[in-house]
Amino acid sequence: ETVLTQSPGTLSLSPGERATLSCRASQSVSSTYVAWYQRKPGQAPRLLIYGASRRARGIPDRFSGSGSGRDFTLTISRLEPEDFAVYYCQQYGGSRDLTFGGGTKVEIK
């Protein structure tokens, strides 16, 4: 099983600032198989990024993903009030290996 470690656990920022979220895998992961999700309280998780860098339908271009190998990053270029939420990375390592990171909470400073 591939373990994903997200850092930091909590990111305290102000609207308009840049957010950089990290996801490190315990072994190399194909970038094709890395996704990022946003979750707000009481809501279903929302797909932001798939294939490490491809924005899902309807996702604003202030969200971007990058990375390869073991290290992947989600960047929010300028935080909007609606972006304060918990973000999860996820990898797929085969038909029986699909794991999520522990999440990064982006909170208002």
Partner 1 sequence: QLQLQESGPGLLKPSETLSLTCTVSGGSITSDHWTWIRQPAGKELEWIGRMYTGGNTNYNPSLKSRVTMSLDTSKNQFSLNLSSVTAADTAVYYCARGPYPHYFDHWGQGTLVTVSS
Out of 2, 31, 56, 66, name the contact with partner 1 by CB under 8 A.
56
- What is the total count of residues that contact partner 1 (CB under 8 A)? 25
Nearest residue to 5 via CA among 22, 27, 30, 28: 22
Residue type, 53: S
> Would you count residue 104 as binding partner 1 (CB under 8 A)?
no
Could you give the residue ranges of the DSSP H alpha helices within the chain?
A: none
Which structure tokens are listed for 77?
């270029």
> Would you count residue 102 as binding partner 1 (CB under 8 A)?
yes
> Would you count residue 95 as binding partner 1 (CB under 8 A)?
yes
> Would you count residue 59 as binding partner 1 (CB under 8 A)?
no
Residue type, 65: G
Residue span binding partner 1 (CB under 8 A) among the ranges 10-18, 19-27, 68-76, 84-92: 84-92
What torsion do the CA atoms of 72, 52, 12, 60 make, to the nearest 10 degrees? 160
Give the footprint of partner 1 on this chain (CB under 8 A).
1, 32-33, 35, 37, 42-47, 50, 56-57, 88, 90, 92, 95-96, 98-103
